Amino acid sequence: MKYHCFVSLIAFFIATVSIEAQTVPEVGLYRTFERSFENNASYSNKFTDVSLTCRFFSPTGHEILFYGFFDGDGNGGGDLRNGNIWKIRFLPDKPGLWKYSWAWSDSTQGGEASFICVTDGGGKGILQAYKDNPRWFAYNSSEPVWIKSYYESGHGSISQPLGWVAENVYQPMIDHGYNLLQVNWLLPLCCFSQYYHDGPAQLTPDLTLYKDGKPSATMRLDVWHMMERHIEWLNQKNIGLYMFLGFDGSRNDGPRWENLTESEKEFYVRYVVSRLAPYANIAGWNFVWEVPGNREECELGWARLIEKYDLFSHLRTYEDENPAENEYHRPEYTFAAIENHQVASAEKSEDRQYWKEPWTHHQACLAGYVSGKPVFMSEGNALWRRYWHPKCGATRDDLRRAAWACVTAGASFTWCGHEGEGPLMASGPQGLPFSDDENEYSESAFQIDILGNVMNNEVLFYRMSPADSLLTGCDPHKVWCLAERGKQYLVFSAGGDPFTAQLAKGIYSHNKWINTLTGTETDIPSVSSTDKQKISFHPPDSENDWLLLIRK
C-alpha cells in the first residue's frame, strides 16, 4: 500500500512539473519577451495616470527594473481613454530561467511569473563599440561585425503591406549581405508621401505619431503597430535599424521636440524606450540630423533621458554636419554619426564645392573619431544618389571612392542608389539598385559588394586602424591606408596613383591588387621588408581604382 502511494505521489509530482514546464514560455536569447495585462480601472489618461513597472531577475540573480506601456486594445486600436491592455517587453541576455514581478502605481494588483531564455533561435545581440578596437562595431561589444548599411528612406512605407515591402525592399538587401538599414520611419514624424509608388496603396497617408507638443494625449497606437511589424520582421533577420530622422520632427516640418514640456519629454522618451529598447536590432538612437550636439534643451538633454531609461544600452548619438568640431567626447553619446561638411573650409560657400569629393569623407571620418566611439558616415554627400547627387554633382565614381574613403579612415558608412526627389520606387531605373539591371546604380551595388567581400573575407578588419602616415610619394586626396602594422595592409588608390608604403620588418606572402570597379584580382609576389622599409608600388593601370592588399 505504501509502495503504491509513493508511486502515485511520484507520478503526481512528475505530471505537475511537466505541466508547469509547459506553461513557462520560452524566448530566444536576445529576442523580445512580451506579455500583456488587462487593467479595467477607469483613468482619464491611460498613458499617464497609472504606470506599470516590472522587475526582472536573471538566472544569476541580477535585478533589472524596466517599464511597461499602455497599448490600447493591444492591436493598434484605442486612445488615452479607450482600451484596457498594458504590455511589458524585455530583452534577455543570458540563457536560463528568468523570473519577473510586476506592479502598478495604484491599487491594481500585480503579480510574478517566469520565462525561460533559450539559445535556439537566438539573436545576434546589441550593436556596440568593439571592446578591442572601438573604431569598429561588434555585437555585445565582443563579436566584430562589418556594417553593410543601406539608406532605406521610405518614410511612409510602414503603412504599405509588410509582405510586399519585405519581398521587394528588405529581402533584396538581405540577399546582398546588408545587416543594417538607416531608416526614416523610426519614429514616424513626417514625409509620408515617400512610400513605394510601384507597390500597393498605403493603408493611411497620415502617419504622424502624435500631435505637436502632446505625445501623452495623442499617441497614435495604430502607427505604433504598423511600425513594430516592420521592426519585428527585421529583428528576426538580425537586421539593425539606425534611427536617422530621430525624435525631433522639426527638421522636416513635423512635431517639434522644443514644443514639449519637460514632463512631456520624459514621457515621450520613456514610452519609446519601453516599446523599442527590448528589440536588439535598434542599432542607434538619434536625436535628428544636423544639430550642434551641445544644446541642453534639445539633443544633449534628450541623450540623458535615453541613457536614463534604456537599460539595455543601445547606441545613442546626434548627427553632426561638421565633424571637425564635434561633441562626441561627451559621455551622453556612444558613437559618432556624421556628414562630410566643413572639412575643406569653415565657409559654407567655399566648402560646398567639396561635398562630392571622396577625400572630404575620409577626413570627416578621421575628424569624427573620439577614442572608444565608432564613426558612422550616415549622410556622406557622395554616397547618396537620393537627394545629394543632384545637389552637389556627385557621380558613381565619387560614390565608390567615398565608400573606400570611409573604410580606410576606420569608419562605417551607409549609402543609397535610388533616385532622388521624385516618387520613391522599389524597382526600375529609379528604384533600389539590387534587382534590376536597368538601374545604372546596380553597378554601384556590385562595387559595394566588392568592398564588403574584402572587409569580411580578405582582411581581419577589426584589427586594423587608419595608417595614412605610412604613405609617401602620392596625393593624400587619392590614396589612403588601413593597416594592422606588421601583419596586414590595405591601400586604396583612386585612378591608379602610385605610392610608397612603409612596411614593418617581415615577409609578406599573401599579396594582390584588386580592381575595385570589376573585382578582378592580380597576384603580387612575396614582399620582403626590413624594419620600416619604404617600398614603391605601381597599380596595374591608371584607368581604374585599385586596392593593394599586403599580408603575412
Please give the C-alpha separations between residue 240 and each of 42, 71, 121, 125, 475, in angstroms, as whole numbers: 39, 24, 17, 10, 36
Distance CA(17)–CA(127), nearest Å, equals: 38
Q: How many CB atoms lie within 10 A of CB 220?
A: 21
546 has which bridge partners? 493, 515
DSSP 373: B
Question: Nearest-5° angle of CA 351, CA 357, CA 358?
Answer: 135
Tell me which amino acid residue 226 is: M
pLDDT on residue 22: 53
Termini Cα distance of the chain: 78
Cα–Cα distance measured from residue 402 to residue 267, given in angstroms and rounded to the nearest whole number = 40
Antiparallel, parallel or unpaired: β 499-503 and 521-524: unpaired
Q: What is the torsional sign of CA 303, 304, 310, 315?
A: positive
- The pLDDT value given to residue 127: 98
The 3 state secondary structure assigned to 262-274 is HHHHHHHHHHHHH
pLDDT by 10s per residue, the chain, length 552: 433 443 333 333 333 333 344 589 999 999 999 999 999 999 999 999 999 999 999 999 999 999 999 999 999 999 999 999 999 999 999 999 999 999 999 999 999 999 999 999 999 999 999 999 999 999 999 999 999 999 999 999 999 999 999 999 999 999 999 999 999 999 999 999 999 999 999 999 999 999 999 999 999 999 999 999 999 999 999 999 999 999 999 999 999 999 999 999 999 999 999 999 999 999 999 999 999 999 999 999 999 999 999 999 999 999 999 999 999 999 999 999 999 999 999 999 999 999 999 999 999 999 999 999 999 999 999 999 999 999 999 999 999 999 999 999 999 999 999 987 789 999 999 999 997 778 999 999 999 999 999 999 999 999 999 999 999 999 999 999 999 999 999 999 999 999 999 999 999 999 999 999 999 999 999 999 999 899 999 999 999 999 999 999
At 64, is the secondary structure helix, strand, or coil? strand
- pLDDT value of residue 105: 97
* pTM of the full structure: 0.94
The residues facing 154 across adjacent strands are none
Element (H, E) at 378: strand 375-379
How distant, in Å, are the alpha carbons of 163, 275, 516, 545 from that of 519?
Answer: 34, 43, 5, 10
Residue 285's SS3 state is: strand
| Total Cβ atoms within 10 A of residue 41 | 12
Q: What is the pLDDT of residue 372?
A: 97
Cα–Cα distance measured from residue 421 to residue 423, given in angstroms and rounded to the nearest whole number? 7
Which amino acid appears at position 382 of this protein? A
Residue at grid coordinates 571620418: 365
**For residues 46 and 225, what is the distance between their CA atoms, to the nearest angstrom?**
18
Amino acid at residue number 274: S
